Amino acid sequence: MRYFSLALAVSACLLAALPGYAEEAKKTIGEIERLDPAFDQLVPKDAQIEVLADGFEWSEGPVWVPEGYLLFSDIPNNRIVKYTPGKGTDVYMQPAGYTGKPKFEGMEPGTNGLAISPEGHLTMCCHGDRNITQMIDGERKVLVSHYKGKRLNSPNDLVFDSNGNLYFTDPPYGLPGGLEGKEAELDFCGVYRLSKDGKLTLMTKECPRPNGIALSPDEKTLYVADSGACHWKAFPIKNDGTLGESKLFYDASKWKGKRPGSSDGLKVDTNGNLWATGPGGVLVFTPEGKLLGRLSTGERTANCAFGPDGTIYLTADMYLCRVKTNAKGLIGSK
């Protein structure tokens, strides 16, 4: 999700289009807030929020690719950007989330959340095309685009489980006019599971604006960010695959409007801690929902992704950042 800062649009076109224009971190932003002693075990005391690249119009959906690079979305510019440590950034794919020929009428045509499937395929939430697409042998394959014959709104974020089932959220942030617009076909925002055999199941429409999504290490809990309410919910996954009654994992609404951003993308580390973008940056929680600290970028921070060697990458408005941590991301959440 994004709230546009139009003042950045000029620099977005001039800077981010240049291959490799940003190399290793040359500056830092924000601060790291330590709210509990346990946070020191996750984030070293000398860690900083390092800027790797800037000038993007709205960066989102980062994913680490095992071959040694990071991909992330620059949504308004309808492209995926590649960051290679030591080399900087380059355009990886354009167009990305909207491949139609008529001019896109909204402000968010590009891809949003990105993931790597268990088979190693790049999987993309495509706002403009209103589907989830996978790259297989250089070709785009649409995995899902409709629910009961009606087009999805604008798939936003996604996570695979270890069996290859895909969970995703479908708010209207990339849909011109939103749910009230002429393009809308569904009258709700859903959380879905696309099973490995291609069956699409609506898991819940409880969250008015479902956004980021993640699984616990044992895959028995599904976490969903509701960006409208600025909180996170935890849903137990029952043995039959359906969701049980949700519980409020953490309510950050007290900071909404006081710190930039809302509940958005999130990842889970191997110990079950949640690294969730929210007001002010990335909030770090224990599995029980205790807030340990914040990677406070001072920017509207959209998402994060674990890379190798305890690095977490952040997409924060016009920036791509990293913070060195002692955590490790889950397979499928990297």
Give 232-289 pLDDT, tens digit per residue. 999 999 999 999 999 999 999 999 999 999 999 999 999 999 999 999 999 999 999 9
Give the per-residue pLDDT at 141.
98
DSSP 291: E
Secondary structure (3-state) at 39: helix
Scored b (16 or more CB within 10 A) or e, 132-168 reads bbbeeeeeeeebbbebeeebbbbbbbbbbbeeebbbb
Q: Please, which residues bridge with residue 213 across strands?
A: 224
Domain 6-324 classified CATH 2.120.10.30? yes
Closest CA to 49 of 329, 332, 280, 330: 280
**Would you place residue 26 in the very low, low, confident or very high pLDDT band (cuts 50, 70, 90)?**
confident
Q: How far apart are CA 315 and CA 63, in angstroms?
A: 11
The domain spans of the chain are 6-324
Percent of the chain past pLDDT 90, that is, above it, reads 90
**Would you place residue 25 in the very low, low, confident or very high pLDDT band (cuts 50, 70, 90)?**
low
More confident residue, 22 or 269: 269
What pLDDT, in 10s, does the model give residues 62-120? 999 999 999 999 999 999 999 999 999 999 999 999 999 999 999 999 999 999 999 99
DSSP 150: E
Mean pLDDT of 152-178: 97
Residue 230 tokens, joined: 């600025």
Give the per-residue pLDDT at 17.
42
The mean pLDDT value of the chain amounts to: 92
Query: What is the distance of C-alpha 37 from the center of its chain?
Result: 28
Give the per-residue pLDDT at 330.
79
Q: How far apart are CA 322 and CA 42, in angstroms?
A: 14
